[in-house]
Amino acid sequence: MRDSAGGPRVLLRRLRELMAEALDPQERLDHIVREIAQNMVAEVCSLYVLRADSMLELYATEGLNPGAVHLAQLRLGQGLVGTIAASARPLNLSDAQKHPAFTYLPETGEEVYHSFLGVPVLRAGRTLGVLVVQNRTMRHYREDEIEALETVAMVIAEMIATGDLARLTRPGIELDLSRPVSMTGLPFNEGVGLGHVVLHEPRIVVTALFNEDSDVELDRLETALDSLRLSIDDMLSRRDVAFEGEHRAVLEAYRMFANDRGWVRRLQEAINNGLTAEAAVEKVQSDMRARMMHMTDPYLRERMSDFDDLANRLLRQLMGRGPDALAEIVPKDAIIVARSMGAAELLDYPRQKLRGLVLEEGAPTSHIVIVARAIGLPTVGQVKGAVSMSENGDAIIVDGEDGQVHLRPQADVEGAYAEKVRFRARRQKLYQELRDRPTETKDGVPVDLMMNAGLAVDLPQLAQSGAAGIGLFRTELQFMVAAAFPRVEAQERLYREVLEAADGKPVTFRTIDIGGDKVLPYFKGAQHEENPALGWRAIRLTLDRPGLLRTQIRALLKAAGGRELRMMLPMVTEVNEVRQARDIIDREVRHLSRFGYLLPTRLKIGAMIEVPSLLWQLDELMQAVDFVSVGSNDLFQFVTATDRGNTRIADRFDPLSVPFLRILRQIVRAGDQSGTPVTLCGELAGRPISAMALLGVGFRSISMAPAAIGPVKAMLCELPLSDLSVMMDEALANHSASTDIRALLRDFANKHSIAL
């Protein structure tokens, strides 16, 4: 590297001039490699670009045979260049030919060069190519030279990403950035969505790369870092953790990163080398992501997303873009692509424009998936790399049936899925035709198919789906999407609207179920808990804060004046909690009666069976309530000690297993013996195969997402329930708990021509 007069700042200034000149892409690349070679006193500078067929093609060179441009190529992982591209790590060698990965390309004439420095061309941690300098003499390149070459590589990455090099590709060849990509995840909700990518937290596009005054940029960086640190400290002090959709430990990691001197020093070095503060953050973020992706420690790899979020926050601080300014116009066929997101965040998007959801994380019973299922959104989770592989506006297909995601699909793939969508539409028409048919099995057993809901926008689906009523109205969603506690008047309006829309069909309101992973940002009473799923939540919280419960009960009683009111208590652990809640309800009834309010014609109190301790109190519970509902999501989580948000174990245990189905049958039989109605309103009800299992163990009322009612009813109408019940009793009586219930159900369905 030359002295400071010919250092990276001069090189970046010259590159900026080249970017502004009216040159064709090849001429611009040729000038760029020449300038790099001169600045770094290198005899060779070459640029290789990664193609969609995983080949690295020589796009420009200074010092090698110019006739090799667009002819010389290496496979990903082949040679030194291929090794750099595959590992996303630089190589600094004093004698390149002795490296075991060295591959000689005779057309380039590079055998006379010994020292070698190659860096990956990275964008958002994704390798787009490799930039190389070489010298005849044997030497190690210095750290400042590596930093300079990485900085230049970032500029070239933006050229590739903007499509500037597309004109240089040969017919039939595409660059890797635009190639079709198919990814496989876990199917979380059925359906097929064709549309265009909307990144839930879009990467900030940095357009100003070169700075005019590094001191000014350093000041901007320090100001933004101060604001960032204050905002993190404020979140921690207010314990506003759930609003950010992260655990407190993540915010602690944010604070650690924000105060990390090494990270700040790398940002400052990038600015001193000529980048703007924004471009410095983008470069350091991309370098860090590439390094962390290759760490074997899973904890450290998970911290990569923490670092991404922090860097994006810093970029938004620098660019003056708060949360409101980040909201972009959503296309009419939006498919949300996110690492993870909260249930309330999904509801921020205009639902009529959503066609699908792709998550890098998530679990089948996480709340974001439950909400997506409730609004009938095709959803695929555990799609690793989906965010970094996608750009806003990319065409994308989501197949929620087999867990496939096709990014930038080829025309034949798009055509095949368009036909699949048409087929599903025809099947939906069949479901619509079934809507007004009696909901009973082939052998004449009536079954109530109820729907789950949580907001006023869900209500039209009650009539559209043909549901017998609302088996679970999640009242907490109104609290989750509000900026402050909804006043009693707002709650009363919603509950009255729900009852009027139901038009006489039963509606079961679950009292506010907050806490755990549903902490409200404005609720200052919540404390950080090591294990929130087992902590201060649901009925425990509202009995300790009776003002919350009293306000909601008053709104429900007033809204249901002249009608039946069904109220259900969540996460009951002891029968005594039902008695305490009844005392509060009775007090509110007396209060409203004293002031002459019209009261419900009938009041029914129920309890959710979600906590295993109730399995040893079933007789007492059935006497204490008017009905029970099984919350199979939480019950399964607690029975199997499986955190439904932990993606490593969320799919390890199957709810359609002998032990869990025995538990469900035990609950149904206890209800039958006492004459207490039993409903199941967990996600188990929403798929035909699991709904069949529930009917087989005795359930005659199940509640599900509106979109699931049609497929479940189609199964139900063809089901000989008496035969199924015999088969299920035999399977559950089997002393082997490893009996494959799913296989038995599929065989039964095939034998009786039942579509699952």
Question: Six-digit token pair at 634?
Answer: 């939480």
CB 623 within 8 A of CB 674: yes
C-alpha span between 478 and 555 (Å, rounded): 13
Query: Nearest to residue 49, comparing CAs of 63, 19, 29?
Result: 29
- Chain mean position to CA 149: 35
Q: How far apart are the first and last CA of the chain?
A: 67
Q: Which residue has the tokens 């949360």?
A: 323
Residue 481, pLDDT score: 63
Residue 7, pLDDT score: 63
Q: For residue 724, count CB atoms less than 10 angstroms from its CB and return exposed for 0-12, middle for 13-18, buried for 19 or more.
A: buried
**Residues paired with residue 605 on neighbouring β-strands, in sequence order:** 567
Q: Which amino acid is at 412?
A: D
C-alpha span between 427 and 421 (Å, rounded): 10
E strands, 296-370, in order = 334-338, 354-359
- Chain mean position to CA 558: 38
Q: Which amino acid is at 80?
A: L
- Chain mean position to CA 284: 25
Q: Is the pLDDT of residue 160 over 70?
A: yes
List every span in the chain annotated with CATH 3.30.450.40: 4-178
pLDDT category at 748 given cuts 50, 70, 90 is: very high
Q: For residue 170, count CB atoms less than 10 angstroms from its CB and return exposed for 0-12, middle for 13-18, buried for 19 or more.
A: exposed
On the CB side of 464, how many CA atoms lie within 13 Å of its CA? 13
Structure confidence by residue, pLDDT tens digits, 248-275? 444 555 566 666 777 788 889 889 988 8
- Tell me what the mean pLDDT of segment 102-131 comes to: 83
Q: Which residue has the tokens 């995601």?
A: 405
pLDDT category at 177 given cuts 50, 70, 90 is: low
Residue 238, pLDDT score: 43
CB 455 within 8 A of CB 706: no
**Residues paired with residue 678 on neighbouring β-strands, in sequence order:** 628
Q: Is the pLDDT of residue 325 over 60?
A: no
- Chain mean position to CA 395: 18
CATH 3.30.56.10 applies to domain 4-178: no
C-alpha span between 657 and 741 (Å, rounded): 6
List every span in the chain annotated with CATH 3.50.30.10: 181-202+328-424
pLDDT category at 299 given cuts 50, 70, 90 is: very low
The pTM of this model reads 0.58
CATH 1.10.274.10 applies to domain 214-325: yes
Residue 4, pLDDT score: 41
- Chain mean position to CA 144: 39
Query: Nearest to residue 378, comparing CAs of 322, 335, 342, 343?
Result: 335
Q: For residue 530, count CB atoms less than 10 angstroms from its CB and return exposed for 0-12, middle for 13-18, buried for 19 or more.
A: exposed
pLDDT category at 3 given cuts 50, 70, 90 is: very low
Q: Is the pLDDT of residue 608 over 90?
A: yes
C-alpha span between 554 and 488 (Å, rounded): 8
pLDDT category at 242 given cuts 50, 70, 90 is: very low
Least confident of 17-31, 69-83, 241-255, 323-337: 241-255
Q: Is the pLDDT of residue 405 over 80?
A: yes
Q: Is the pLDDT of residue 570 over 70?
A: yes
Q: Which residue has the tokens 């320090």?
A: 222
Neighbour count for residue 681 (Cβ, 10 Å) = 27
For every residue of 638-692, DSSP letters joined together read HHTT--TT-TTTTTTS-SSSHHHHHHHHHHHHHHHHHT--EEE-SGGGGSHHHHH
Query: Nearest to residue 630, comparing CAs of 612, 650, 647, 603?
Result: 612
Q: Is the pLDDT of residue 239 over 60?
A: no
Q: Give the SS3 label for residue 514.
A: coil
Q: Which residue has the tokens 């799919």?
A: 651
Residue 700, pLDDT score: 97
Query: Nearest to residue 66, comparing CAs of 24, 129, 108?
Result: 108
pLDDT category at 300 given cuts 50, 70, 90 is: very low
Average pLDDT of the chain is: 84
Which CATH number does 435-751 carry?
Answer: 3.20.20.60
Query: Nearest to residue 178, comparing CAs of 408, 479, 15?
Result: 408
Q: Which residue has the tokens 């919603």?
A: 494
Pairing of strands 192-199, 334-338: parallel
List every span in the chain annotated with CATH 1.10.274.10: 214-325
Structure confidence by residue, pLDDT tens digits, 511-540? 998 876 666 656 766 566 777 778 888 899
Q: Which amino acid is at 14?
A: R
Domain 181-202+328-424 class? Answer: alpha beta
Q: For residue 402, count CB atoms less than 10 angstroms from its CB and return exposed for 0-12, middle for 13-18, buried for 19 or more.
A: exposed
- Tell me what the mean pLDDT of segment 434-440 comes to: 89
Pairing of strands 507-510, 564-569: parallel
Instruction: Answer with the residue of higher pLDDT: 667 or 735.
Output: 667
Structure confidence by residue, pLDDT tens digits, 362-380? 777 666 787 788 778 999 9
Residue 237, pLDDT score: 57
For every residue of 524-569, DSSP letters joined together read TT----SSGGGSS-HHHHHHHSHHHHHHHHHHHHHHTTTSEEEEEE
Q: Is the pLDDT of residue 342 over 70?
A: no
Neighbour count for residue 237 (Cβ, 10 Å) = 8
Instruction: Answer with the residue of higher pLDDT: 303 or 189.
Output: 189
Query: Nearest to residue 314, comparing CAs of 261, 257, 361?
Result: 257
407: CB partners within 8 A, 6+ apart: 180, 181, 182, 183, 197, 386, 389, 390, 394, 395, 396
- Tell me what the mean pLDDT of segment 580-590 comes to: 96
Question: Six-digit token pair at 202?
Answer: 């879009």
Proportion of the chain in helix, strand, coil states, percent, rounded to 5: 50, 15, 35
C-alpha span between 94 and 391 (Å, rounded): 38
Question: Six-digit token pair at 512?
Answer: 């506010």
Q: Is the pLDDT of residue 243 over 60?
A: no
Question: Six-digit token pair at 452?
Answer: 């789950």
Q: Which amino acid is at 163?
A: G
Helical axes 214-238 vs 261-272, angle rounded to 10° = 150
C-alpha span between 589 and 358 (Å, rounded): 46
Q: Which residue has the tokens 């139901």?
A: 502
For every residue of 259-322, DSSP letters joined together read T-HHHHHHHHHHHHTTB-HHHHHHHHHHHHHHHHTT---HHHHHHHHHHHHHHHHHHHHHHT--
User: Which own/partner contact pairs does 246-249 have at CB distance under 8 Å and 24+ positions apart?
Assistant: 246/309, 248/528
- Tell me what the mean pLDDT of segment 205-226 comes to: 85
